[in-house]
Structures are given as structure tokens and as C-alpha cells.
Structure 1
Amino acid sequence: MKFKRSERVSRIMKELLEHPNEILTLSHFSQRLNAAKSSISEDMVIIKNALEKAREGRIKTVAGAAGGVKYIPEASKEYTRRILEEIAEKLKEPDRIISGGFLYMPDIMYSTRLVEGVANIFATKFEKMEPDYVVTVETKGIPLAFMTARALNKPLVIIRRESKVTDGSTVSINYISGSTGKIERMSLSRRAMKPKAKVVIIDDFMKGGGTAKGMKDMMKEFEAEVLSIGVLVETTTPVEKRVKDYIPLLILEEVIEERGEVKIYPNPRVFEEEGQPEDQLPEELEAQE
């Protein structure tokens, strides 16, 4: 069955978006769409140009016998600002304030659209670091870590609060919670990740940084290198956190419970870094097949 160019482009685009950071060969598309590789190559140029104009990602070519093309999600500064400002406005709603000065966040953390947006922001920051795993702890931040792992096309590792029989042999450590100051425990199956891996850590909320420090300490047990830590919301107090190298997307300055006021805003530092350089896609890719 033959497809028109417009039909091929839409189908190729759909498959690339469904497989972020995964190499797909021209032969793969050629067979599925019953088209010559030269035609698929021309289709890729159209898709590349469209993505660049929309600033919603990029197409990267991978040379070699097993090479091809892959779609890399990329959050522009405009996209990043739009997503973070939308989340900040939602978190400013007075009825989110819970007794004790806490904020209700589950509906945001379980919003597939918002979480995917934040995940694309983190993926843009971490893609060049080439991590082997995305790591998080057993909290409501799991959806965010999962979507970040999907965008990077890397396995997700979830550190448990308590070990389970089905985990097999585990490593357990104690850590001090940054928010409560209490000693807590976390564990991870020895089979969860290979030793000496490179990882990025994702967390939904940071106050004192105790949980993030616990995750870093857990990674030491696996001789893993923590490349960076991504946090959705960071509080301004305490000023001194238990970890140093992390990227907060939103800054929570104050929750005034009696007035129903929440002071939260996008982290200005997020917009200071330059975007990813553009990859050049040759008009003819058949030589790589």
C-alpha cells in the first residue's frame, strides 16, 4: 500500500514522538510505509524543519551500521516558562493550603500533560549528560521521574521506603529527613541497577534536602555517579540544604496560611542556560544505512 507524502510525514512524526531518544532506522520506516529510503530521508527533513520552527524538539542523526534518527524532546525557554508559570499559578490557589503550611500537589503530580511538560524540561537539562538511569524515591514524585525516564529513554529506578520480599537482596540505609529532622530508612534491590552507573535523581519537593542526600548516599552503595538532581519545587528555607548540586524549577518562598497566600515563582536560573545546539540533518541519509 502506497502512502502520500503528507500521510508518511504524519505517521513518521507520530512514531518518533512515541519513541523519544530511541534510534529508528530509515529501513524501519521504509518497510512500514512501503517507500524508498530517499523519500523517507526527504520526509525527515520536513519533520526536522517543522520541529525547529515549533521549537518542540529536534531530530538527531546517528551514524554507523546500527544508526538512524531519533527524536529528542526539547523544551524551549518559552515552553519552559509557560509550563512553570501555569503550575505556579495553580499552586497559588488558596484552597491548596493544608494545615501546617503545606501545599496540596497530587493533582498536579498526576496531571499527565503538566508532568510530561516538566519531564521534557528535565530531559532537556540532562540529555547531554547521558545518564544510565533516572532515580527517585517512593513518593508522589514517581510519575514525574517516570516521564523523565521515558523522555530520556532510560530505565527508572525507584528507591523504596521499606524493602519487599520480592526485591530479593537489598541495600538499606538510614537518612535524616530534611523536613522533619527524623531518622528514616530507604532500601534498594541489588538487582535494580548495575554498579558504577551514571544517574540523575528526580524529586518532587525539597525542603532541607534530606531525602535527596539519602538518595545520593544510596547511590554511593552502588558506586554510582550522581550527575545532577532535578527538583520540581524547592523552599527558600532552610537556606542551607543537605545537597548542593541540584536544579529546582519552582521556588516556594512563603506560605501565609492565615491570609491564604502562596508566594511561588519559576526559578530564574532555569532560563539562564542556553538551549541545545541544532543538529544538522543531511538531505540524504541512505549512506548511513
Structure 2
Amino acid sequence: MGRLKRNERIAAIVKILSDNPNRTFTLSYFSDLFQSAKSTISEDIVVTKQAMEKANLAKIETITGAAGGVRLIPTTTAEKNQKILTELCHRLKEKDRILPGGFLYMIDVLYSPHLIHSLGEVFACQFDYSEVDYVVTVETKGIPIALMVAKAMNLPLIILRHENKVTEGSTVSINYISGSSGKMQRMSLSRRAIKPKSKVILIDDFMKAGGTAKGMVDMMKEFDAEVVGMGVLIGTKEPEKKLVSDYIPLLILEDVNEEKGEIQIYPNQNLIL
């Protein structure tokens, strides 16, 4: 790479940091990449930091010491949350999303890269993940959003599966009652997936009674892992008492009226005020 002008270096730094949130890059990395002195790179980073934080786009953190460097930490505001979550609610209120039994069709939302990326950052900003080791979800619909949360946090993603896979070796399996279907189901995880004494954050797409979430918590106990946070994309208003507590829903689903074709869903007020 040839030598770049300052504005070109700053643009490149923003691109690199934004593509790799919570990953630390040393000054030497940028110095070698741009063939510039570290002092020059430091000045570039100061400008980058000021611009990103002034526009409320992200936080740029500099780390001193031999292992230091610079990293981008995703941030959000109540205003940004309101815009993202309100837009999502408008989409989910479309009456043709209602499926027999009062369920909602959500596949197009869950597999929308731009939207899920934004929701992943909203989730990431709700937890202190400085000492967390893994993001954990259960297949299958929770995978896209959990993956974006893991990316924003720069953490590995662990997926609890409904069936054992021969490629995963020895597994641990537990049974649980799904809160939405009321049916007995099973989840399993490779014994190699999580190290003992790890700290995890659980992410899922939907919570009604909390049966699946409790199953995830119980599975973490089998690995002697500590659950330090739990988030769901949509939590139902009823039943008010779930099988788990201390979870953060992005949206609250109050009612689905099949006869009238009406869906009452709104953002979690704690995230937008």
C-alpha cells in the first residue's frame, strides 16, 4: 500500500475499526499498514475518536502499555434505539404476519443483515461484557441475532442444538418444556464447547413463559458456567411471571388478535427513554 493522505488514513482506520468492533489494533499495525510514523497514527486516531464520539456513532478507546492499542466499542442512544425498534414494530404489525395459533411470521426480519446488525449493537450496549467469555443461543431462529451480538462484543458464539451432531463428539443433553408450544424438547451441547467457570450471555429471539430460556440456564449449570445476562428480541407481556428473571427484551408483544388482524407490539420503554 502506498502512502496515504491524512483523510485517506482516517477513512481507512474507521473502516477497519468498524468492521472489527471490540478488537484491539496496535499502533504498529496501522503504522506498518500505512507506512507512517506512530506519532502520525496517534494524531489520526485522536481525530477519528473525536469525530465518532461527536456524532454518537461509536466510542474509540485507546489502551496504553505494551499490549495496548485502539479499539472501537459500539454505542447507542435512546434516540437511536427508538428509531430502530419503532421501525421494527411497524414491520411486525403488518396483519399478514399473523399465522394460525397467534404466531408471527418473523423470518424475513431475523434474516435481514442490516436490521440484525443494528439490533446486535443495541443488545451489546445493554450488558457489561468485559469479563464475558461466550454468547450462547439455541438453534435456529436465534442464531442470526446472537451472531451479531457476538460480533459486536467480539466473543465466540455457542449454539445449543436440538439434536446431537456426530461432528461435535461427546455431548451433554437436557430436556426442557418449551413455553410457546408446551412440548417437551431437548437441547444438547458438545462437552468441549464451554470451559468450566466461564461467564456467558444468553440471547434468543422470543420468550413467552421462559421455558427455553430456563433450559438454556440449566444447560449452563451443567458446564459450571455463570449467566451474567440474558436478552430476547421479543418478550410477551403475558404471562407476567416467567420461568426466568433479569432478562432484557427489545420489544414487548402484548396481543395478537387473529380475528381482527391486529398486533400490539411496542419497544421496551427502558431502552428508548
- Give the 3-state SS of the residue equivalent to 1:154 in structure 2: coil
Match of 2:40 in 1: 39
TM-score by structure 2 length?
Answer: 0.97
- Give the 3-state SS of the residue equivalent to 2:252 in structure 1: strand
**Are 1:134 and 1:154, in contact at CA under 8 Å, matched by a contact in 2?**
yes
CA RMSD for the aligned pairs? 1.0
The whole-number CA distance in structure 1 between the counterparts of 2:8 and 2:36 is 12
The whole-number CA distance in structure 1 between the counterparts of 2:56 and 2:36 is 28
Matching residue's letter, 1:42:
E
Matching residue's letter, 1:236:
K
1:92 aligns with 2:93: yes
1:104 aligns with 2:91: no
Alignment of 1:1-289 (within 5 A): 1-271=2-272
The whole-number CA distance in structure 1 between the counterparts of 2:63 and 2:111 is 34
The whole-number CA distance in structure 2 between the counterparts of 1:176 and 1:99 is 21
Unaligned runs of 5+ in 1: 273-289
Deviation readout 1:168-226 (Å, 9 max, x if unpaired): 00000011111122221110000111111000000000011000000000000000000
**Are 1:129 and 1:227, in contact at CA under 8 Å, matched by a contact in 2?**
no
Match of 1:277 in 2: none
Deviation at 1:127, TM superposition (A): 4.0
The whole-number CA distance in structure 1 between the counterparts of 2:209 and 2:253 is 13
Matching residue's letter, 1:53:
K
Deviation at 1:63, TM superposition (A): 2.1
**Are 2:82 and 2:271, in contact at CA under 8 Å, matched by a contact in 1?**
no
Deviation readout 1:117-176 (Å, 9 max, x if unpaired): 110011111244531000000121101001110110000000000111111000000111
Deviation readout 1:222-280 (Å, 9 max, x if unpaired): 000000101010111112111001000100000111111110000112235xxxxxxxx
The whole-number CA distance in structure 2 between the counterparts of 1:113 and 1:141 is 16
The whole-number CA distance in structure 2 between the counterparts of 1:36 and 1:215 is 49
**Are 1:60 and 1:69, in contact at CA under 8 Å, matched by a contact in 2?**
yes
Name whichever of 33-42 and 122-131 sits farther off.
Answer: 122-131
| Structure having greater relative contact order (Cα 8 Å, sep ≥ 6) | 1
Match of 1:281 in 2: none
The whole-number CA distance in structure 2 between the counterparts of 1:19 and 1:231 is 24
The whole-number CA distance in structure 1 between the counterparts of 2:64 and 2:39 is 16
Residues paired across the two proteins, number: 272
- Give the 3-state SS of the residue equivalent to 1:115 in structure 2: helix
